[in-house]
Amino acid sequence: MFRREINIWKAVDWTTILVYLVMVVFGWFSIYGASYDYDQIKTMYDFSGRTGQQMVWIITAFVLAFIILLVEADWYNVFAYWIYALIILLLIVTIFIAPDIKGSRSWLVLGPVRLQPAEFAKFATALAISKMLNGYKFKLLIPENFMKVLGLIFLPMLLILMQKETGSALVYLAFFILLYREGMTGSILLVGFSTIVYFVVGIKFDGVTWGGDKTFASTFLVTFLASLFTVITANYYRKERKELFYMNIAFAVIMALTMIILKYFPYLVTSYDLSWVNIACLFLICGYLFFLSVKKRYRSYLLVGLFGLFSFGFMHSVDYVFDNILEPHHQMRIKVTLGIVDDPSGAGYNVNQSKIAIGSGGFIGKGFLNGTQTKLKYVPEQDTDFIFCTVGEEQGFWGTTAVVVLFVVLILRVIYLAERQKETFNRVYGYAVAGILFFHFAINIGMVIGITPVIGIPLPFFSYGGSSLWGFTILLFIFLRLDASRAERL
52: exposed, middle or buried (Cβ count in 10 Å: 0-12, 13-18, 19+): middle
Chain length of the chain: 490
Measured in whole angstroms, the distance separating CA 187 from the mean position of its chain's CA atoms is: 19
Shared domain for 376 and 460, answered yes or no, is yes
| HEC secondary structure over 398-444 | HHHHHHHHHHHHHHHHHHHHHHCCCCHHHHHHHHHHHHHHHHHHHHH
Shared domain for 372 and 402, answered yes or no, is yes
Domain boundary (265, 294, 325) is at 325
Q: What is the largest CA-CA distance in the chain?
A: 82
* Residue 336, in any domain of the structure: no
Mean pLDDT over 384-411 rounds to 93
Cβ atoms of 422 and 416 closer than 8 Å: no
Encode pLDDT of 82-116 as tens digits: 999 999 999 999 999 988 877 788 888 877 788 89
Encode pLDDT of 15-26 as tens digits: 999 999 999 999
* Residue 2, in any domain of the structure: no
pLDDT at residue 68 is higher than 90: yes
Mean pLDDT over 324-343 rounds to 76
The residue ranking higher by pLDDT, 411 or 264, is: 411
pLDDT at residue 42 is higher than 70: no
Shared domain for 206 and 119, answered yes or no, is no
Domain boundary (270, 290, 325) is at 325
Give the confidence band of 353 by pLDDT, cuts at 50, 70, 90.
Answer: confident
Shared domain for 40 and 130, answered yes or no, is yes
* Residue 337, in any domain of the structure: no
- Rounded to whole angstroms, the Cα distance separating 108 from 115 reads 5
Computed over every residue of the chain, the mean pLDDT equals 84
Shared domain for 250 and 318, answered yes or no, is yes
| DSSP conformation class of 347 | T
Shared domain for 13 and 162, answered yes or no, is yes
Shared domain for 118 and 82, answered yes or no, is yes
Give the confidence band of 291 by pLDDT, cuts at 50, 70, 90.
Answer: confident
Shared domain for 199 and 122, answered yes or no, is no
Structural domain range at position 399: 8-184+343-488
Encode pLDDT of 426-446 as tens digits: 999 999 999 999 999 999 999
Q: Count the domains in the chain.
A: 2
| Range list of H helices, 343-386 | 349-360, 372-375
3-state helix, strand, coil in the chain (%, to 5): 70, 0, 25
Shared domain for 52 and 159, answered yes or no, is yes
Question: To the nearest whole percent, how much of the chain has pLDDT over 90?
Answer: 39
Encode pLDDT of 165-221 as tens digits: 888 899 999 999 999 988 887 778 888 888 888 787 777 776 555 555 555 556 677
104-118, 281-295, 466-480: which is most confident: 466-480
Mean pLDDT over 246-256 rounds to 80
139-148, 299-308, 311-320: which is most confident: 139-148
Domain boundary (279, 298, 325) is at 325
Shared domain for 20 and 133, answered yes or no, is yes
* Residue 334, in any domain of the structure: no
Shared domain for 381 and 253, answered yes or no, is no
* Residue 332, in any domain of the structure: no
Question: To the nearest whole percent, how much of the chain has pLDDT over 70?
Answer: 89
Give the confidence band of 1 by pLDDT, cuts at 50, 70, 90.
Answer: very low
Shared domain for 67 and 54, answered yes or no, is yes
Mean pLDDT over 149-178 rounds to 92
pLDDT at residue 334 is higher than 90: no
The residue ranking higher by pLDDT, 367 or 323, is: 367
